[in-house]
């Protein structure tokens, strides 16, 4: 295999692996233990991202970010808060829903973002996008119809997450031009600004007294070790996604990057079906395949629109991921990495 092929294949595989790992570990931490500590998990991920970014920068890896400053922090803080809401509601939805169904319903966020962009930025919605939207709605209906473990709270949090994700994407796109963030700037500011928020909310909202009492019992030591490993891996995976996203984008193109994001949803769903004991039905598999096809059609429609629209026109975003990749700059905004 030639070196040029390896230079392209390695970051793609790294991005896919980190994305799959992040989603599966999140599901494990939030649904497989006695306590579902969403804010604590998000705090660990934020801390892991910031700490490993600083370490990577110190050892000479290509991780460059703008130093924290009051002006940018004040401007970006509302965006960071909207991201925190998106991640929290996503975590709660993942706590109640199985991963394939979560994948299917996450596509509905794309529709909310598309029409939000149309309203805010006057972006066009093409006929091919409408076809993909129809497929997304159909896949969600099939998924809900075949959901053998129906949970009302799961659908509530999923609906809230779709709205929160769309709000975050649109708000970020409005503000990012004011601060001119690139590459790791958004990741660094998002995580550093929300880390104290997650810590405070975890201490206030989550049952730490019950957590300490339960895991103080030696009979639960094995579960505590598994929980600690899950939290640790989720923190590393959060940084891995932050690093692999721009790495993959730099070595491929925005078109390839967007397509990989759409294609990656299928192995995520398949791995989840094999790993977790949730019932697998023919209808559920059909819903995943419909959602997968809808993501491909939408990605193609977006790339066609990008090629045909005049330079500087607003282009709708690529498919929304279910991991922390949403916090990075959009591919069309990150074509030229920061040289700071």
What does the pLDDT look like over 80-120, one tens digit per residue? Answer: 999 899 999 999 998 898 888 888 888 888 888 888 888 88
pLDDT of residue 258: 65
Predicted confidence band at 259 (pLDDT cuts at 50, 70, 90)? low
Q: What is the pLDDT of residues 155-196, one digit of tens each?
A: 999 999 999 988 888 888 888 888 888 768 888 999 999 999
pLDDT tens digits for range 322-338:
455 344 444 344 334 44
* Average of per-residue pLDDT values in the chain: 83
DSSP state of 67: P
CA–chain centroid gap for 189, Å, is 16
> Are 101 and 51 contacting, i.e. CB atoms less than 8 angstroms apart?
no
Cα 108 to Cα 96: distance, rounded to the nearest angstrom: 18
DSSP letters spanning 284-321: HHHHHHHHHHHHHHHHHHHHHHHHHSPTT---PPPPPP
**Count of Cβ atoms closer than 10 Å to residue 149 Cβ:** 11
With beta carbons less than 8 A apart as the criterion, state whether 154 and 89 touch. no
Q: pLDDT per residue over 277-288, tens digit each?
A: 777 888 888 988
pLDDT, position 151: 83
- In this predicted structure, the answer to whether residue 55 has a pLDDT above a threshold of 90 is yes
Other C-beta atoms lying within 10 Å of the C-beta of residue 286: 15
Please state the φ and ψ torsions of residue 163, each to the nearest 5 degrees. -65, -40
Residue burial 91-106, b: 16+ Cβ < 10 Å; e: rest: bbbbbbbbbbbbbbbb
DSSP string, 207-270: -HHHHHHHHHSGGGHHHHHHHHHHHHHHHHHHHHHHHHHHHHHHHS-HHHHHHHHHHTHHHHHH
Nearest to 106 by CA among 210, 19, 218, 225: 19
Alpha-carbon distance values, 44 to 78, 150, 195, 229, 295 (Å): 21, 30, 8, 12, 30
Q: Which of 256, 288, 253 is nearest to 271 (CA)?
A: 288
């Amino acid at each position: 295999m030639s070196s040029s092929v390896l230079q392209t294949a390695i970051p793609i595989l790294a991005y896919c692996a980190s994305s799959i790992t992040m989603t599966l570990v999140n599901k494990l931490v939030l649904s497989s233990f006695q306590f579902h500590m969403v804010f604590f998990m998000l705090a660990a991920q934020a801390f892991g991202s910031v700490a490993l970014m600083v370490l990577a920068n110190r050892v000479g890896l290509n991780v460059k970010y703008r130093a924290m400053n009051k002006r940018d922090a004040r401007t970006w803080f509302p965006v960071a808060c909207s991201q925190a809401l998106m991640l929290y509601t996503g975590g709660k939805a993942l706590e109640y829903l199985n991963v394939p169904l979560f994948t299917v319903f996450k596509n509905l966020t794309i529709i909310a973002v598309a029409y939000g962009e149309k309203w805010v930025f006057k972006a066009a919605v093409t006929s091919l996008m409408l076809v993909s939207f129809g497929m997304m709605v159909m896949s969600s209906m099939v998924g809900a119809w075949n959901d053998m473990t129906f949970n009302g709270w799961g659908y509530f949090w999923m609906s809230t997450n779709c709205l929160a994700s769309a709000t975050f994407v649109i708000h970020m796109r409005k503000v990012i031009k004011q601060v001119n963030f690139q590459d790791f700037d958004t990741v660094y500011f998002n995580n550093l600004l929300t880390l104290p928020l997650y810590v405070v909310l975890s201490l206030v909202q989550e049952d730490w007294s019950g957590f300490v009492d339960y895991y103080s019992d030696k009979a639960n030591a094995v579960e505590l070790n598994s929980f600690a490993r899950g939290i640790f891996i989720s923190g590393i995976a959060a940084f891995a996604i932050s690093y692999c996203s721009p790495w993959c984008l730099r070595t491929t193109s925005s078109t390839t990057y967007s397509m990989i994001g759409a294609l990656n949803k299928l192995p995520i769903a398949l791995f989840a079906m094999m790993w977790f004991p949730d019932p697998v039905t023919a209808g559920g598999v059909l819903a995943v395949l419909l959602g997968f096809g809808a993501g491909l059609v939408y990605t193609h429609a977006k790339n066609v629109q990008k090629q045909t629209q005049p330079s500087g026109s607003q282009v709708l975003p690529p498919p929304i991921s279910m991991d922390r990749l949403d916090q990075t700059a959009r591919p069309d905004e990150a074509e030229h990495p920061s040289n700071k």
